[in-house]
Structure 1
Amino acid sequence: MTTPIIGCIADDYTGGTDVAAALRRGGLHTVLLFGPPDPHTSLGGADAAVIALKTRSLPPPRAVDMSLSAQRWLHDRDTSQIYFKYCSTFDSTDDGNIGPVTDALLDGQSAGVTVVCPAAPEHGRTVYQGHLFVHDRLLSESSMRHHPLTPMTDPDLIRVLQRQTSHPVGLVPLQIVHQGADAVADRITELADEGVRHVVVDAVDESDLDTIATATRALPIVTGSAGLAGAVGRITPRATRTDTDPHPTSTDPHPTSTGPTVLFAGSCSQATLGQVALAREKFASYRLDPRTVDDVADLLPAAHAWLTAHLGDDPILIYSSAPAEDRGPADPQTAAALETLMGALARAAVTAGARRLVVAGGETSGVVVDALGVTAVRIDAEMDRGVPWCTTLGTDEPVALLLKSGNFGTPDLLVRAALPGPAE
């Protein structure tokens, strides 16, 4: 087994696909694992291993335990650097989990300092003077201020992180970043000597991320969004591989798996709503509407019958995505029941022969992956930035998965993903 050069721990499933795509884009052969990996899991000839967990909204002690388990698994494989990936909007509460998990990972590696850089300039996320911007607005003025689980009302990353850790938080400002990697590395060392453990680093474009990645090559723990991970991938040498690689990576933006295609959409973000609207114009569709029943579970028989009747050569869409005025009062229990229903239907679809699943929404993706019992995938080419096709590993028949964060993708993403590639 080739030792992975980079190990990554992501705090949700679509975040895992996003960072795995970024590492792959940098030229690294990448394998994505879902949940704490089995000790016997093989990585083939991977350059990078990403472990996607669902820890973003867990109580901090549980998030820490799961992250440390993943760290130990990676450490046993002599990973040279561990990257802790969180969202580019720094999704967290005053209790965590970014601070507690980072502290635990640093302790686990006996490391004294790390960087904190959620910048993803290609998605409009930048950090300046320690403040996080979404395009031309402070984070606190973006839609994230209304997030139901992690409302982000403070754009100052130093303040936000200081509420989550007992250790000092410092800053490397943009003017030092523009002086080059050596200047950044020197400033991180100075701050560490002063007792600072978490160093927020400004970044407003891709070249800044390249500088930060170069400056932090010797750090055992690095933290950030997929933006900085992409830069890490760009500066990391790829392992030498032979034609005997058991998991060759596809460069075709369409999956190699052939068979019926089913789209599942659970996100209610504006991006996904637009994508669902276009998909409904092209494909047969079925809406899961909890307002029509007393118990969401009662939706399953009719939905299953529709799936069975329509599964075939043409793509089909099953969705619960709807604008606020068309889905009733927000109810976490109803939302969770809908996700469970999506997982059951995805499992039924694969059992009936579906070989391509396109899933919109982070929570929906997590439930679908778990329902299918998928523990590892190979990262293939991206349909859109941060939205790669994945091919399941260790299954009797490969299934192609496209797991999309709610806000990601162009308006026609679901349509393009569902249609066969040119070679077919």
Structure 2
Amino acid sequence: MLLGAIADDFTGATDLANTLVQNGMRVTQIIGVPDENTDIGQAEAVVIALKSRTAPVAQAVQQTVQALDWLLAQGAAQILFKYCSTFDSTAEGNIGPVADALRTRLGTDFAFVCPAFPANGRTIYQGHLFVGDRLLFESSMRDHPLTPMRDADLVRMMNAQSDGRAGLIPLSDVAAGPSAIAARVAQLKADGICYGVVDAVSNEDLRVIGIAAAGHKLITGGSGVAIGLPDNLRREGLICPASLPEPPEAPGRAAVLAGSCSAATRRQIAHVAQDWPTRKLDVDSIANGDPVTAETVEWALSQPADMPILIFGSADPEEVRATQERYGKLQAGLMMEETLGEIAVALRDEGFGRLVVAGGETSGAVVSALGITALRIGPEIAPGVPWTQALAPSGPALALKSGNFGQDDFFRRAFAAMLS
């Protein structure tokens, strides 16, 4: 293994694994902290998927360091800490504290900070994160139920979360090339700064940043920052071109399980709700102890077998706020995630072989409930979202979609891709 990565949620891990596969690396995605019996096969890169984005800070740090120690023991020479391209976090973390812990364990005094993902409209200019043509805090991320984003200045946000100081590597340096980035890094380090927020507005910028990252022990950012890393290894003769992945084998019925409350996922639900059998889960019924899982599975089995079904707990911001007021922010989300996980297990046992899961926290709950420990990365459906195949234990084909990713017709595209 050459490259080790740690992602703070399951969809982010799949997103990153997809990026590395698309750029020619053999990748294994591991679910949770591996142990001595974990087999990575011939993988050149390993992506460890944690469910740590909104976990208590101490827990997130502990799990991440355990994952790091395992990657180092496997020979990883470079580590990538992957978080969301919208920098999902709060003033307390978890991005800053986890990055601090990784720097300390690796004994390095500097790391890039670059969540840019231009293919999905996430760009950085003058250290400010944009979603499309809007600053982060003006986007729908302002109303995220767990990590509402109220700032767009990544330097300021990193300084609020981290024990180390952050500075800017502006677009002018990126445009001037890797040597200019290296010169800026040297200047920042001389000033006692240990995090460099790097501007990027295109994939070409990310490739330049990737060249500049050669030799860095730690990189932090979104999946986009990994675009250029395989080229570094290829130039050194450490990897050869790899064939693109084959679609997973996935007999059986198809279902979408959506827990994300993002604007993108709500649009995707609306796009198919009039055509597909659709069922919305009620948080109050779950809280009351009603047999929601059993009733939902019974409903699912009664639907036509030749078309996908949609089961969702997604809601608009006002409904989410009302639910959180009744049950608490974390508890409301946990009830929905656990129920969707239970439904996923029951559907798998009833012959559903293709599952699209919308939302990072929901994907974590579903994959954990299914007992999956490793995934093979298949073909890309949309930027950042591939089909995957559960390897250990063998199981259904899964598309784990970040709530904000994908076109309005993403659910249709996903199942159409399985047939092409």
Query: Normalised by the size of structure 1, how large is the TM-score?
Result: 0.90
Does 324-333 or 113-122 show the bigger shift?
324-333
Structure 1 counterpart of 2:257: 264
Structure 1 counterpart of 2:295: 302
* Gap change, CA 1:213 and 1:309, over 3 Å in 2: same
Q: 1:82 offset after TM fit, Å?
A: 0.5
Structure 2 counterpart of 1:352: 350
Structure 1 counterpart of 2:190: 193
Q: Which amino acid aligns with 1:103?
A: D
Residue 101 (structure 2) pairs with residue 104 (structure 1): yes
**Distance in structure 1 (CA, Å) of the matches to 2:47 and 2:134:** 31
CA contact (8 A) 2:233 2:239 kept: no
Structure 2 counterpart of 1:32: 29
**Distance in structure 1 (CA, Å) of the matches to 2:146 and 2:187:** 36
* Gap change, CA 1:326 and 1:136, over 3 Å in 2: closer
CA contact (8 A) 2:287 2:335 kept: no
**Distance in structure 1 (CA, Å) of the matches to 2:62 and 2:45:** 22
Residue 158 (structure 2) pairs with residue 161 (structure 1): yes
**Distance in structure 2 (CA, Å) of the matches to 1:78 and 1:40:** 16
Structure 2 counterpart of 1:279: 272
* Gap change, CA 1:270 and 1:150, over 3 Å in 2: closer
Moved >4 Å (runs of 4+): 291-294, 324-328
CA contact (8 A) 2:174 2:209 kept: yes
**Distance in structure 2 (CA, Å) of the matches to 1:324 and 1:149:** 12
Q: 1:176 offset after TM fit, Å?
A: 1.5
Residue 323 (structure 2) pairs with residue 330 (structure 1): yes
Q: 1:98 offset after TM fit, Å?
A: 1.2
**Distance in structure 1 (CA, Å) of the matches to 2:124 and 2:320:** 35
CA contact (8 A) 1:260 1:311 kept: no
The Cα RMSD (Å) is 2.3
* Gap change, CA 1:211 and 1:393, over 3 Å in 2: same
**Distance in structure 1 (CA, Å) of the matches to 2:333 and 2:176:** 48
* Gap change, CA 1:394 and 1:311, over 3 Å in 2: farther
Residue 127 (structure 2) pairs with residue 139 (structure 1): no
**Distance in structure 2 (CA, Å) of the matches to 1:311 and 1:80:** 51
**Distance in structure 2 (CA, Å) of the matches to 1:289 and 1:353:** 25
CA contact (8 A) 1:94 1:163 kept: yes
The within-5 A match list for 1:323-402 is: 323-324=316-317, 329-331=322-324, 332=329, 333-395=331-393, 397-402=394-399
Q: Which amino acid aligns with 1:32?
A: Q
CA contact (8 A) 1:260 1:355 kept: yes
Residue 113 (structure 2) pairs with residue 116 (structure 1): yes
Q: 1:225 offset after TM fit, Å?
A: 0.8
Q: 1:311 offset after TM fit, Å?
A: 7.5
Q: 1:235 offset after TM fit, Å?
A: 4.1
Partner residue of 1:230 out of 198, 222, 227: 227
Structure 2 counterpart of 1:47: 44
Q: Deviations over 1:374-415 (max 9, x none)?
A: 1110111111111110111122x4321011111111122112
Partner residue of 2:58 out of 57, 61, 66: 61
Structure 2 counterpart of 1:315: 308
Does 154-163 or 225-234 show the bigger shift?
225-234
Q: Deviations over 1:325-350 (max 9, x none)?
A: 67782323333212211111110111
Q: Which amino acid aligns with 1:201?
A: V
* Gap change, CA 1:278 and 1:143, over 3 Å in 2: closer
CA contact (8 A) 1:85 1:226 kept: yes
Q: Which amino acid aligns with 1:219?
A: H
CA contact (8 A) 2:181 2:212 kept: yes
CA contact (8 A) 2:381 2:417 kept: no
CA contact (8 A) 1:19 1:230 kept: no
Q: Which amino acid aligns with 1:95?
A: E
Tell me, which stretches of 5 or more residues in structure 1 are unaligned?
243-247
Partner residue of 1:203 out of 187, 200, 205: 200
CA contact (8 A) 1:209 1:231 kept: yes
**Distance in structure 2 (CA, Å) of the matches to 1:314 and 1:387:** 22
Structure 2 counterpart of 1:250: 245
**Distance in structure 2 (CA, Å) of the matches to 1:111 and 1:231:** 21
**Distance in structure 2 (CA, Å) of the matches to 1:420 and 1:137:** 31
Tell me, which stretches of 5 or more residues in structure 2 are unaligned?
none
Structure 2 counterpart of 1:87: 84
Q: How many pairs were matched up?
A: 412
* Gap change, CA 1:116 and 1:412, over 3 Å in 2: same
Structure 1 counterpart of 2:16: 19
* Partner secondary structure for residue 216 of structure 2: coil
Q: 1:202 offset after TM fit, Å?
A: 1.4
Q: Deviations over 1:301-360 (max 9, x none)?
A: 311322333484432222222435677823233332122111111101111222111111
CA contact (8 A) 1:24 1:233 kept: no
Identity of counterpart residues, as a percentage?
A: 43
Structure 2 counterpart of 1:288: 281
* Partner secondary structure for residue 323 of structure 2: coil
Structure 1 counterpart of 2:173: 176
